């Protein structure tokens, strides 16, 4: 099935509503997709579900459309956060896109001792997440926070949220054991993946001392950070998330 044109339109959508789109969305529908009056597309707003829409008129800078019907009720995904140490730009793009496809609800870039913290462009990450959500038929966009030092994020940590940190040192418990034991126990969770240079000894000591944190191994091979993000999130979704 050719992928249907799907747009995130962050305003309260409801049936029988008139839509007036300008800027990038108008350009995308009329000039990129070359849709015209009578063409259909799908829209979601991250709160009210997904709607089938019909183009009424394609103007130079503006598109008018009407919402025909709701095609899917809104459903919230699992409460899983990703904390990751930014890596090189294109690899960080990959992390944001895969995390969105793999259903994270929030992304927090964290600065650790060995993070090569290139300029963190939150707007870029948000655009990446919107595009990934539109393509993978998600109904909401993950929240993306400003990059902050790991210790700052953990200082105010809500200890009801388990923090699974991916421990490349070989001291972590096997992921199948950790997530297998957590399967079925609903509750907020977060995954933490370190930078290319790995966690420092001080960071490992600190994390291992926190009772809300669990050290997890993804096997004997050392994965690139972006691989570890995709692997850890896939395991979590399979055992504890919405892949059941």
Query: Smallest distance from the beta carbon of 225 to ligand SAH, in angstroms?
Result: 4
Q: Are 110 and 147 in contact (CB under 8 A)?
A: yes
Distance separating alpha carbons of residues 60 and 58, to the nearest angstrom:
7
Q: Does 115 bind ligand SAH (CB under 6 A)?
A: no
Q: Which stretch binds ligand SAH (CB under 6 A): 15-23, 49-57, 156-164, 212-220?
A: 212-220
Distance separating alpha carbons of residues 192 and 167, to the nearest angstrom:
9
Q: Are 162 and 189 in contact (CB under 8 A)?
A: yes
Please, how many CA atoms are within 13 Å of residue 150, restricted to the half-sphere of its CB? 25
Q: Which stretch binds ligand SAH (CB under 6 A): 62-70, 91-99, 103-111, 221-229?
A: 221-229
Q: With respect to ligand SAH, which residue has the nearer C-beta, 80 or 130?
A: 80
Q: Does 178 bind ligand SAH (CB under 6 A)?
A: no
Query: Smallest distance from the beta carbon of 219 to ligand SAH, in angstroms?
Result: 5
Q: Does 24 bind ligand SAH (CB under 6 A)?
A: no
Distance separating alpha carbons of residues 151 and 157, to the nearest angstrom:
10
Q: With respect to ligand SAH, which residue has the nearer C-beta, 43 or 193?
A: 193
Q: Does 198 bind ligand SAH (CB under 6 A)?
A: yes
Contacting residue, 5, 49, 142, 194, with ligand SAH by CB under 6 A: 194
Contacting residue, 63, 193, 213, 233, with ligand SAH by CB under 6 A: 193
Q: Does 86 bind ligand SAH (CB under 6 A)?
A: no
Distance separating alpha carbons of residues 87 and 74, to the nearest angstrom:
33
Query: Smallest distance from the beta carbon of 105 to ligand SAH, in angstroms?
Result: 20
Distance separating alpha carbons of residues 124 and 108, to the nearest angstrom:
14
Distance separating alpha carbons of residues 216 and 163, to the nearest angstrom:
10
Contacting residue, 63, 102, 178, 218, with ligand SAH by CB under 6 A: 218
> DSSP assignment of 170-213, as one string?
TTSEEHHHHHHHHTT----EEEEE--TT---HHHHHHHHH-TTE
Residue identified by tokens 């993946």 is: 193
Q: With respect to ligand SAH, which residue has the nearer C-beta, 34 or 221?
A: 221
Query: Smallest distance from the beta carbon of 181 to ligand SAH, in angstroms?
Result: 17
Using alpha carbons, select from 201, 208, 196 the residue that is nearest to residue 172.
Answer: 208
Residues making contact with ligand SAH (CB under 6 A) = 166-168, 172, 193-194, 196-199, 217-219, 221-223, 225, 228
């Amino acid at each position: 099935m050719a992928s249907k044109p799907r747009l995130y339109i962050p305003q309260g959508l409801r049936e029988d509503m008139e839509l007036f789109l300008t800027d990038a969305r108008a350009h995308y529908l009329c000039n990129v997709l070359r849709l015209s009056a009578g063409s259909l597309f799908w829209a979601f707003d991250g709160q009210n579900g997904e709607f089938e829409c019909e183009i009424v008129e394609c103007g130079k800078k503006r598109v008018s459309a009407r919402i025909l019907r709701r095609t899917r009720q809104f459903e919230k995904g699992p409460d899983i956060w990703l904390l990751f140490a930014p890596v090189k730009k294109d690899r960080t793009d990959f992390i944001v896109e895969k995390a969105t496809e793999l259903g994270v609800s929030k992304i927090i870039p964290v600065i650790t001792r060995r993070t090569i913290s290139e300029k963190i462009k939150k707007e870029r990450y948000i655009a990446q997440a919107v595009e990934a959500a539109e393509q993978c038929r998600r109904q909401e966009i993950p929240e993306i926070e400003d990059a902050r030092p790991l210790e700052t994020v953990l200082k105010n940590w809500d200890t009801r949220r388990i923090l699974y940190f991916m421990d490349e040192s070989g001291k972590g418990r096997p992921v199948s054991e950790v997530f297998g034991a957590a399967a079925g126990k609903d509750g907020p969770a977060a995954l933490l993946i370190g930078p290319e240079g790995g966690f420092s000894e001080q960071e490992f000591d600190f994390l291992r001392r926190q009772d809300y944190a669990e050290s997890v191994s993804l096997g004997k091979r050392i994965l690139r950070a972006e691989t570890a993000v995709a692997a850890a999130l896939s395991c979590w979704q399979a055992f504890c998330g919405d892949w059941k």
